[in-house]
Chain A
Amino acid sequence: DAGITQSPRHKVTETGTPVTLRCHQTENHRYMYWYRQDPGHGLRLIHYSYGVKDTDKGEVSDGYSVSRSKTEDFLLTLESATSSQTSVYFCATSILAGGYEQYFGPGTRLTVT
């Protein structure tokens, strides 16, 4: 258990509202990732971070932004939530430069109505 928590665990919000999801880790891992998981698509990378204030886009970054002001926290913001962003969101971390040994959080189930 890599000590990754996500908050909130469940959220229902309305279309057009901003939403921020938080990922917190206690392992001092350098690399952090945000994924979404949808039926028929599997896990897809939204954004990732390779250090404090260092972030980059993933495969499905449109409509999302991230920030990392501390090693332990990685925030994912939906600027204006849409129904297509209804999904389960997972945060992951890794310490190795290779990045393949990723530890996942418990997930946040987001519903946009």
Chain B
Amino acid sequence: QKEVEQDPGPLSVPEGAIVSLNCTYSNSAFQYFMWYRQYSRKGPELLMYTYSSGNKEDGRFTAQVDKSSKYISLFIRDSQPSDSATYLCAMSEDGGSQGNLIFGKGTKLSVKP
């Protein structure tokens, strides 16, 4: 069993839809949870991070962590064609400074006008 599981999609939604992206994990020691966005042929960019459990909101984006279920989510409200990208979850025990940031394989999202 891989440490981090993420449905690769592709996920196609109409503009304005609410998008839900998810990851599950097996390591109960993970404390830091991140979401990165990667446009085609570009490097990933950090969208949001959460420490431990709870929700975090930033504009149209909301990150949720449920440590009891080992499940994290990213919600995108009022999705736009510019949100079309691959979304990577990432997590670590100590924040990743020692090189142990574990990434999911990414979910490819397409938002249709």
Stretch at the interface among B10-18, B41-49, B53-61, B76-84: B41-49
- Contact check, A43 vs B99: say whether CB atoms are below 8 A apart: no
Contact B97 A96 (CB under 8 A): yes
* Shortest Cβ distance from residue B94 to the other chain A in the assembled complex, whole angstroms: 7
Q: Does A58 contact B44, Cβ atoms closer than 8 Å? A: no
Task: Give the distance to chain B from A61, nearest Cβ to Cβ, in Å.
Answer: 10
Q: B-facing mask of A88-110, CB < 8 A → 1, else 0? A: 00101010111111111111000
Beta-carbon contacts under 8 Å, A12-49 to B: 31, 33, 40-45, 47-48
Q: How far is the CA of A100 from the CA of B5 in the complex (A)?
A: 19
Q: Does B111 contact A (CB under 8 A)?
A: no
Whether the pair B44, A43 counts as a contact (CB closer than 8 A) is yes
A69 to B47, CA, bound (A): 31
Tell me, yes or no, whether A79 is within 8 Å of chain B by CB.
no
Q: Mark B1-13, 1 if CB is under 8 A from A, else 0.
A: 0000010000000
Please report the C-alpha to C-alpha distance between residue A97 and residue B100 in the assembled complex, in whole angstroms.
13
User: How far is A14 from B41 in the complex, measured between Cα atoms in Å?
Assistant: 23
Evaluate whether A58 and B99 lie within 8 angstroms (CB atoms) in the complex, with A98-B32, A98-B94 already known: yes
Q: Is the CB of B99 within 8 A of A100?
A: no
Per-residue 0/1 for B67-82: is the Cβ within 8 Å of any A Cβ (1 yes, 0 no)? 0000000000000000
> Does residue A50 face the partner (Cβ distance < 8 Å to B)?
yes
Knowing A50-B97, A98-B32, the reply to whether A104 touches B105 (Cβ < 8 A) is no
Question: Are A94 and B97 in contact, with the CB atoms below 8 A?
Answer: yes
Q: Measured between C-beta atoms, what is the minimum distance from B108 to chain A in Å?
A: 11
Q: List, in ascending order, chain B residues with CB within 8 A of A45's CB.
A: 99-101
Starting from the known contacts A42-B105, A97-B97, A99-B99, 15 additional A-B residue pairs (CB-CB under 8 Å) come to A41-B105, A44-B103, A45-B100, A48-B98, A92-B43, A94-B97, A96-B95, A98-B32, A98-B95, A98-B96, A100-B92, A103-B45, A104-B44, A106-B42, A106-B43
A residues at B contact (CB < 8 Å): 4, 31, 33, 40-45, 47-48, 50, 56, 58, 90, 92, 94, 96-107
